[in-house]
Structures are given as C-alpha cells and as structure tokens.
Amino acid sequence: MADTLTNHVSARGLRAPRFSLRQREAIEAWLFVSPTVVGFLLFFLGPLVAVVYFSLTEWNLLTQQSTFVGIDNYVDALSRNPDFWHVLRNSFVFALGLVPLNMSLALMLALALSRPFRGVVFFRTIFFAPVVTSAVAWAIVWKFLLQGEAGAVNQLLAVVGIDGPNWLREPDWAMVAVIVTRVIKMVGLNMILYIAALQAIPRDYEAAARLEGASNWQIFRMVIWPLLAPTTLVIFVITMIGSFKVFDHIYLMTGGGPENGTLVLAFYIYEQGFKFFNVGYASALAMIMFVIVLALTVVQMILRRRDMQ
Amino acid sequence: MTLTTRQTRLISRTCLTLALLVVAVPFVFPFLWMVSSGFKSATEIFGQPSLIPRVWRWQNYIEVFEYQPFARQYFNSLYIAVTVTVLTLVISSLAGYALARMRFAGAGLLMLFLLSALMVPEEVTIIPNFFLIRWMGLMDTHAPLILLPVFGSHGVMATFLMRQYFLAIPKELEEAGKMDGLSRFGIWWRVALPMSRPALAAVSIITFLFSWNLFLEPLVFISSLERFTLPLALSNFTDSYGLPLWHLQLAATSLAVVPILIVYLIAQRQIIESFALSGVKG
Amino acid sequence: MTSLRLQNLKKRFGSTEVIRGVDLAIEDGEFVVFVGPSGCGKSTLLRMISGLEDITEGELYIGDRLINDVQAAQRGVAMVFQSYALYPHLTVKQNMGFGLKVRKVPAEEAERRVMEAAASLKLEALLHRYPRELSGGQRQRVAIGRAIVGHPQVFLFDEPLSNLDAELRVHMRAEIAALHKKLGNTMVYVTHDQIEAMTLADKIVVLRDGVIEQVGTPRELYERPDNLFVAQFIGSPRMNVLLAASVERQLATRGLKIGSAHGIGMRPEHLSVVDAGAGILRGTVMISEYTGAATLLHIELESGETVLVIHNGQNTPRIDDAIGLAIDPENLHFFDGKGEAIRPLQRAA
C-alpha cells in the first residue's frame, strides 16, 4: 500500500498545527455566524441603541441638527399630547377586539378541521389562502368591498334587508371593519397551529373520557382545552404582538381615519417619523412600543415557566 | 323514531359542512370580486353588482402597464424576493448550523441576543435604520429592501428554524463526513444541507412571501416609480385627486395575487406546513 | 509503521473526567479490542484516537507522529460507526466514493478502489441503491467498504455489530476477522460484548471508569486475570467467587494454603460434579437449567453461598440432590482484599 493517501498527508501533517482542534472549531464557528452577527449589530442592535438615544433628542429638520432634550419626548407623549392616549387606546381596542375574535375563530375552525373528513383539505386551503396573500392586496380589495352604498358588502346586506353603515367613514365602524378584515386575513395561521396541537393530542385521552361517559363539551372543556394551554399561550402572545405591529392593513384601508378613529401606534410612529419628521418624538413612541412588546414576551415566559412546573 | 348512529353522524357532518361553507364566504368572496372587478369598466364597477362582468374589459390589463412602469415594478418585487430568499437561506443556515453543532465561546450569549430580536417589531428600529441607510447612501435603492429582511427578525426566525432542523440530524453522519476529510464548511454544504431539504423549502417559502409582501420598508426607502415594488405600486393607482382608480387597481392586484394563489393551490400542503413550522418557533 | 502510542491520555467533559490517564502501545497490524461495561470510556477513547473528540491531556502518536491536534481526516484512520452513518441522500457507490472525492483522488482511481472494495464485500449488485433500501447487514458492509477504500493505516470500529441480530452478528464477526487477516492493518475495535472481544482480538484492553484494568491476549485475560473485575468481566457465565474463609478447610486437606487471599474464583466451566463428600465443595442443587449443549446448575453451598456450574456430562443431578464439586487446582484464582490477583501463591500450588 505504497499509494496510501495517508502517507502523503502524514508528511504534511508533521508540521506542528497552529491551533488546537478546540480553537479551530471556535474560529470556524465565528466565521459561520459572522454574517448574522454583523447584520445583527448593524441593522438591529445598533438601531435599537440609537432609538433610545434619538428618543432623548429633538431633531431640527432645517438645520439637520439634533439637541438633547432628556425625557421631554416621553413627557410629551404621556402628558402633553392628547393624541398619544387616543392612539394607545385605539391600539388596545384593536388588539382586544382582534385577539379574542381571531383565537376563538381559529380554535373553532381547527376543531372542525383537525379530523379527516371529506372536504377537510378544501376548507383548510380556503381558510389559509388570505395568509399567503399580500396584506396590501387584501386591504385594497376590502376597502373596495366596504365602500358606502356602492360597496359589495352593503349591497349584499341590502338583499337581506340590512342597511349597512358607511363602514370606513364612521370611526367606530371603521375600527370594526379593520379588525374583522384583519382577522379573516390572519386567522388561518392560528388555525394551522391549533390543528397541529390538536393532532398531537393522543386519541386515547378522548376515548378514555368517552368511555367514562363524558359529553363532547365535557371532553373539550376537561381534556382538550387544558392540553392546548401551551399552544394557546404562544398563539396569544404572537397574535397580540402582531396586532400591535399592524401597519399596512390600516395604512391602506383607512389611513388612520376617520377622525383618527383607527390611528394605531405603529401607524402613529410612521406618521410622526416619516411624515412630520418628529424624529425624537417618534423614537420615544417606538421605545414605548418596544416596552409593550417586551412586557408581553416576559409575561409569556413567566406563564410558560409556571406551566412547566 | 330514533336515529341510528350512522344517520346522526350523517346529519352532523352535513351541518358542519354547511356551517363551514357559510364561514368560507368572506375568505373566498374578496378574491372572486377582485378578479371580476378587474375586468369591469370604471362605470360598471359601481353599477348593478354582478360577479360576471357584463362587458369583459381586457383593456384594463393594458392600461395597468401604461399608467405606471408596472412590468418593471413586478420584476423588482420578483428579483428582490429571490435575492432575499437566497441570501436568507445561506446566511441563516450557516449561523443555524454553527449554533446547532459547533462549540464556541459566546454561543449562549449570541443565542440570547438573537432570540430577543425575534420579538421586536421592525417599526421599533425603522427610524434609526432610515438614518443608517441614508448615511450609507442607499436611499431609493433596493439595498435596504434586501438587507433589512435578511438581517432583521425574519432572518433570525429562519436561523432558529434551521438550527432546530440541524439538531435533529444524527451526529454520526457529520462525524463520518469529518472522517471522510470534509471541512466544517464541507460538512455544512455536503452533508447538513442536503439532509435539510424540508427546512430549506420551508424557509424559502416563507421568506419569499415575506419579501414579496413587504410594505413598510419600500414605503420608507423608495421614492422613484420605476424602483417601486408590487405592494407599493398597487397602492399607487389613483387619479389626479388621489382617489383610487378601482378598475386598474383591482386588475393590477389580481395580477399580483393570482399567480401566488395558483402556486399556493398546487403546493398548499407544503406551504401550510412551512408556516406551521415557522409559527411554532415564533 | 502504523503503531499507536497513547501516553497518559485524559479527557474531561467540564469537571467530569471520563478518561483518567491511559497508557497503551498498539503494534503495527494488531487487532486491539477495547471492552468494558457501558460508561467505562471505551468509545470516548476510540473517538480521541479518531480525532472526533479532542484530547484534554496526554499525547497520542500514530507511528512517530504526534497527532493530538491533527484533524480527523488527516490522521490516516477510518472509522466504522455504530449506526453506520451512511449518507441517506447518496447511493451505496457514492457513499463509498465520497471520501475519495473529497480528497480529490482521480476519478478512475476512485472508481477502481470502490469496485475493488465492492467486489470483496459482495456489494456489486447494490451499488446504485440508497441506504434505506438495504438490510442491516448490507449497510454494515457498505460502512466497512467506505472505510476500506481510503486505504487507511488504522481502522477504528465503534460497536459496529450492536445493531444486528444475533445470527448476523456471528456472521459479520467472522467477516471482520477475515478482513483483518487479508489487509493486515492495525485495527481498534470497541465493544461491550466480551465474546466479540475474545474471538476477534489479538489484544484486549479492559477498561473501567476511564482507566485500563488489564491489557493482554484473550487467553491471558481468561487464564490469568489481574483482578476480580477482569476475572468476572471475561468469561460467561461469570466466574464464581467465594470467600476464602469458607473453603479454607477443604483446600487445606489437599495441601493448598490460601495465604492472604480473601476471595477464591472458580469458573463455572471448570467445576465438575462429583459424589457428595468428594471434591472440594459440598452443596445442594437448587436450580437446573437445560440449555441443550449443557446444563447450568445453581448449587447452594454449605456456607450459604451459591455457585454456578456448567455440567456437560451424563448423570445430571436432580434438584435437591446433595453433590460434591471438584476443580483442578490449576484453575483456582486467588484475590486479595482489594480484588487484586495473587499470582505467586497460585504458582506455589
């Protein structure tokens, strides 16, 4: 075996290696993660630090200069500017309207579609279709459908004798409209997560409960719902955070109106930052949004930990 | 007369199906109405409602391309989405692999940092990113539409998805690769990646759609018509008073939505599973 | 020269030390088997030789070359994994040729080597199948073939037969022995199965808790174990060990002194049944297990201890029979209070 490969590598290997195997692995690993780390520092961590700084300054559009103003922007938001509380209220109304509607519909659809029957794929495909559709397209079409008297929705309602409101022109109805259309757009995602969770529950539990004479409702209430709790928690937080982020949907359907009736936090940040160039104020708003999202995440982690114990 | 089990089951099945059909109406109707209205004239659109246009106005589909450089905008979205997808696949699978399989100082801290990025909406960092992009001289280019998704929370999500998948690959297979003379990079490329096709497919699907549907970033960074992406272009079909030109807007929206829907109908199982996979992580 | 030298090798995972100073010399062309109970560190030691696990302390030489920090692929070793680790996305042929391709061996040369290995392992008909389409034995052969084609200096086997059924295991054991005879390479083999160790090894290394208990030929380990652990680990069923005090009197009548011995070992196959009163031990048959070739007798001695005897002859005693047990004094093993073998005493006998 004069031609063994190993003979010539061994000749090469006689030279003492520069790094130990452990060191080499660490160097390689950092090379592997380097694009992610650089991007993360540049486009996420850096900006996150910057937004804290920005929120403590005031930006002069003309001179392109910023001056340090301390917590002025926060004081502005929390006490001086009446818009802020209105916007925050809108954001919470939106979230508190959307989350329960979304989750209960998702759960009901999942319960109906987690067992095989004819048409299950058909219905799943339909309910999930809006998820893959662009939010912009979805908002445009619904805005079209929800126009005053000429809109298709009101025309349909007229057929059954209901005189529909001018959905997007009345503040309260506009909020209802954006919530409901957003739920239709996104419910498929939660439905799929619930279906996956339901299918992971061993059928024996249900069979055992049924043998003990439990009704369908009792089985759901006492067996299935408790077993779904971890999934429900995750879905709750994802959906809640998602509802605070909602921007394109509202931008296109109502533009925040009417009478700022659908002006929510994400939209307000955009408006203050990029329309009025109140960079400092918008950054303070961004920080407030960050804190809300962070609080939700922490709550989730605490609940999840308690769940495990 | 009492019903047999079979009869009650048949009845409950039928009721369920009917209920689902009713619920399905607001999910399906917008698509149908969108396509049909895209073929109507500006006047018919507000006339007597009918799902089938009285006159099929194919002209709309020509005007869409005349009103603004819609073909160019369409292409922009396509190439940006493909670029974002390819870059995300490479970068997230490299980092995901290192986090799953390699031992290095700082790995735990890095994981923690990345996890925190998962939760933060892009609205929080969009203002500093605006100044950063302007400082880099990349305003009104497609660079931010590529960089921000690749390195933002979506890229992090992809990284964790890949990491989770790599963790499930038997370690001995990679060790065999090592014994066969593969470098770390070689193991990643020739052993780990070929075995992770389902995860790569999932990341591709959700990343492509994420980029395709992106709205806030184009809105903030892009100002020239010919650099618009589709979502921006769709929102731009207005007359001189700023009122929507519905017939053109809906025709254009159909052009943007229908191809995606067709792909979705063909590959619905794969696409739905991809979202389920990413959602569980989130 | 493909001898291996392990000098005071140590391996720590965090604060737990799993290999606690191993010294070992492996000669060129030797078939060495690491054996020991699970968790003894035998696999870790093999992986340290392969380069898959780094060395915390100590030195490892292949030939004259220190290879502590040489990458796995450049050590000139090939490994056969317990799970075979065949790439599921490659065919048998691609699996076998993969390492050659990575090392940029010219295509014709690689093809030749793969075909050669395939022929010698009778894999020609399977070359275009995927691993999932193969039986366990076939996968095992592909894994060996993959190791062969690289012409390594040293073959490493990590419990390669543990995923096979009993019959196939015997068959593959013979194939590996034949392979060693044909190639003449140095081979290091890890197993927890002492029959595998005995049948394959030129030299057995018995490990426990990260240290070597004994190194020797199968015969040496069987006939002259260094300590109680090795004595009971090698041989099946395991060696009976009685308190020296309980047989002191009977041994003395045959002119055998126990000296400082604390325990006395007798292998079940060395004890023979004699009439009650004859032999060196007396007892009652409690259980009798007929296995076809022999009968396993569980004997309760007068001291209350139980011994196992393999009875091959006719006249199998029945349960509750009182019997005597005889043994050739050559086959007695003496151990001190710490379990170390006492050799001079045995020789004096």
**DSSP one-letter string for A15-62:** SPPSS-HHHHHHHHHHHHHHHHHHHHIIIIIHHHHHHHHHTTEEEETT
Which residue in the set C65, C68, C153 is minimally distant from A4, CB to CB?
C153
Alpha-carbon span C235 to C224, nearest angstrom: 12
Alpha-carbon span C42 to C48, nearest angstrom: 10
**Domain A82-308 homologous superfamily, CATH:** MetI-like (1.10.3720.10)
Phi and psi (nearest 5°) for B150?
-60, -40
Please name the residue that has the structure tokens 């005493």.
C345
B145 touches chain A (CB under 8 A): no
What number is the average pLDDT over the span B165-185? 90
What's the pLDDT tens digit per position in B133-146?
Answer: 999 999 999 999 99
A142 touches chain B (CB under 8 A): yes
Q: Which of A49-63, C255-269, C287-301 has the highest mean pLDDT?
A: C287-301
Q: Considering only CB atoms, which chain B residues are within 8 Å of C44?
A: none
Chain B: list its partners (3+ Cβ pairs within 8 Å). A, C
Whether residue A3 has pLDDT greater than 70: no
Alpha-carbon span A249 to A179, nearest angstrom: 10
The set of residues, in sequence order, having a beta carbon less than 8 Å from that of A272 and lying 6+ positions away, is A278, A281, A282, A285
% of chain A exceeding 90 in pLDDT: 50
Whether residue A197 has pLDDT greater than 70: yes
Q: Return the domain boundaries, chain A.
A: 82-308
What's the pLDDT tens digit per position in C66-106?
Answer: 998 888 888 889 999 999 999 999 999 999 999 999 888 99
Whether residue A192 has pLDDT greater than 70: yes
**Residue of B12, B124, B213, B263 to mutate, interface with A, max A Cβ within 10 Å:** B124
The pLDDT of residue A296 is 87
A42 touches chain B (CB under 8 A): yes
Nearest to C168 by CA among C197, C136, C143, C127: C136
Q: Please judge whether B231 and A251 are an interchain contact, meaning their C-beta atoms are less than 8 angstroms apart.
A: no
User: Do B163 and B264 share a structural domain?
Assistant: no
Task: Give the residue numbers spanning the domain of B85.
Answer: 72-231
Whether residue C48 has pLDDT greater than 80: yes
Alpha-carbon span C127 to C141, nearest angstrom: 12
The lowest-confidence range among C284-288, C290-294, C306-310 is C290-294
Task: Grade residue C348 by pLDDT with cuts at 50, 70 and 90.
Answer: very low
A6 touches chain C (CB under 8 A): yes
The pLDDT of residue A307 is 67
Q: Please judge whether A50 and B131 are an interchain contact, meaning their C-beta atoms are less than 8 angstroms apart.
A: yes
- Helix, strand, coil % (nearest 5) of chain B? 75, 0, 25
| Residues B126/B59, Cβ–Cβ less than 8 Å | no
Q: Considering only CB atoms, which chain C residues are within 8 Å of A13?
A: 65, 67, 70, 74-75
For chains A and B, CB pairs below 8 A equal 263
Q: Please judge whether B179 and C87 are an interchain contact, meaning their C-beta atoms are less than 8 angstroms apart.
A: no
Tokens of A296: 């939700």
Whether residue A7 has pLDDT greater than 60: no
| Residues C55/C89, Cβ–Cβ less than 8 Å | no
Q: Considering only CB atoms, which chain C residues are within 8 Å of A21?
A: 51, 54, 69, 71
Q: Considering only CB atoms, which chain B residues are within 8 Å of A50?
A: 128, 131-132
**Residue of A117, A140, A185, A300 to mutate, interface with B, max B Cβ within 10 Å:** A140
B residues 232-271 closer than 8 Å to C (CB): none
Alpha-carbon span A70 to A51, nearest angstrom: 13
A298 touches chain B (CB under 8 A): no
Angle between helix axes B197-212 and B143-151 (nearest 10 degrees) is 130
Please return the burial class of C178, using the count of CB atoms within 10 Å of its CB with bins 0-12, 13-18 and 19+: exposed
Q: What is the CATH number of the domain that holds B199?
A: 1.10.3720.10
Q: What three-state secondary structure class fits C12?
A: strand
What's the pLDDT tens digit per position in B207-245?
Answer: 999 999 999 999 999 999 999 999 999 998 887 777 888
CB C250: neighbour CB atoms within 10 A?
16
B residues 245-264 closer than 8 Å to A (CB): 246, 249-250, 253, 256-257, 260-261, 264
Classify residue B57 by its DSSP letter. Answer: -
Whether residue B281 has pLDDT greater than 60: no
Whether residue B279 has pLDDT greater than 70: no
What number is the average pLDDT over the span C256-278? 87
The set of residues, in sequence order, having a beta carbon less than 8 Å from that of B223 and lying 6+ positions away, is B139, B140
B115, part of any domain: yes
Q: Please judge whether C72 and B178 are an interchain contact, meaning their C-beta atoms are less than 8 angstroms apart.
A: yes
Alpha-carbon span A243 to A266, nearest angstrom: 10
User: What's the whole-number average pLDDT of chain B?
Assistant: 90
Q: Considering only CB atoms, which chain B residues are within 8 Å of A125?
A: 264-265, 268, 272
Alpha-carbon span C325 to C269, nearest angstrom: 12
| Residues A209/A223, Cβ–Cβ less than 8 Å | yes
Alpha-carbon span A31 to A29, nearest angstrom: 5
The pLDDT of residue A16 is 52
Distance from CA of B254 to the nearest CA of A (A): 8
Q: Return the domain boundaries, chain C.
A: 4-227, 240-348
Distance from CA of C74 to the nearest CA of A (A): 6
The pLDDT of residue A137 is 94
Q: Please judge whether A4 and C69 are an interchain contact, meaning their C-beta atoms are less than 8 angstroms apart.
A: no
For B257, nearest residue in chain A (alpha carbons): A133
What's the pLDDT tens digit per position in A108-151?
Answer: 999 999 888 888 999 999 999 999 999 999 999 999 999 887 78
B144, part of any domain: yes
Whether residue B129 has pLDDT greater than 80: yes
Alpha-carbon span C204 to C197, nearest angstrom: 7
The pLDDT of residue A308 is 63
DSSP A201-239: S-HHHHHHHHHTT--HHHHIIIIIHHHHHHHHHHHHHHH
What number is the average pLDDT over the span A256-273? 90
User: Do B205 and B132 share a structural domain?
Assistant: yes
Q: How far apart are the first and last CA of chain C?
A: 43
For C99, nearest residue in chain B (alpha carbons): B180
Please name the residue that has the structure tokens 């030939």.
C63
Alpha-carbon span C191 to C45, nearest angstrom: 12
Q: Please judge whether A4 and C151 are an interchain contact, meaning their C-beta atoms are less than 8 angstroms apart.
A: yes
Alpha-carbon span B126 to B134, nearest angstrom: 12
User: Do B95 and B213 share a structural domain?
Assistant: yes
Q: What three-state secondary structure class fits A152?
A: helix
Task: Grade residue C248 by pLDDT with cuts at 50, 70 and 90.
Answer: confident
User: How far is residue B219 CA from its own chain's centroid?
Assistant: 17
The pLDDT of residue B103 is 86
Q: Please judge whether A28 and B188 are an interchain contact, meaning their C-beta atoms are less than 8 angstroms apart.
A: no
- Does the bond joining A258 to the residue before it have cis omega, within 30 degrees of 0? yes
Q: Please judge whether B27 and A130 are an interchain contact, meaning their C-beta atoms are less than 8 angstroms apart.
A: yes
Provide the sign of the torsion angle of the four alpha carbons A21, C190, C94, B202, taken in this order: negative
Alpha-carbon span B153 to B162, nearest angstrom: 14
Q: Please judge whether A135 and B265 are an interchain contact, meaning their C-beta atoms are less than 8 angstroms apart.
A: no
Tokens of B232: 């921006």
Which CATH number, 3.20.20.70, 2.40.50.140, 3.40.640.10, 3.40.50.300, labels domain C240-348?
A: 2.40.50.140
% of chain B exceeding 70 in pLDDT: 98
What is the largest distance, in Å, between two alpha-carbon atoms of chain B? 81
For B144, nearest residue in chain A (alpha carbons): A43
Whether residue C219 has pLDDT greater than 60: yes
Whether residue B282 has pLDDT greater than 80: no
**Residue of B115, B126, B127, B183 to mutate, interface with A, max A Cβ within 10 Å:** B127
For A19, nearest residue in chain C (alpha carbons): C69
Residues linked to residue A65 through DSSP beta bridges, in sequence order: A60
User: Do B193 and B109 share a structural domain?
Assistant: yes
The pLDDT of residue A298 is 86
B278, part of any domain: no
C4-227 folds as Rossmann fold (3.40.50)
Looking at the 3D structure of chain B, how many domains does it have?
2
Alpha-carbon span C161 to C83, nearest angstrom: 9
Alpha-carbon span B135 to B225, nearest angstrom: 22
For B180, nearest residue in chain C (alpha carbons): C99
The pLDDT of residue A11 is 41
Distance from CA of C158 to the nearest CA of A (A): 21
User: Do B87 and B159 share a structural domain?
Assistant: yes
What's the pLDDT tens digit per position in C127-182?
Answer: 999 999 999 889 999 999 999 998 999 999 999 998 888 888 999 999 999 999 99
Q: What is the CA radius of gyration of chain A?
A: 27
B residues 125-184 closer than 8 Å to C (CB): 170, 172-173, 175-182
Q: Please judge whether C70 and A17 are an interchain contact, meaning their C-beta atoms are less than 8 angstroms apart.
A: yes
Q: Considering only CB atoms, which chain C residues are within 8 Å of A12?
A: 74
Type of residue numbered A297: T
What's the pLDDT tens digit per position in A292-301?
Answer: 998 988 888 8
For B102, nearest residue in chain A (alpha carbons): A29
Q: Considering only CB atoms, which chain A residues are within 8 Å of C63?
A: 10
Residues linked to residue C283 through DSSP beta bridges, in sequence order: C301, C323
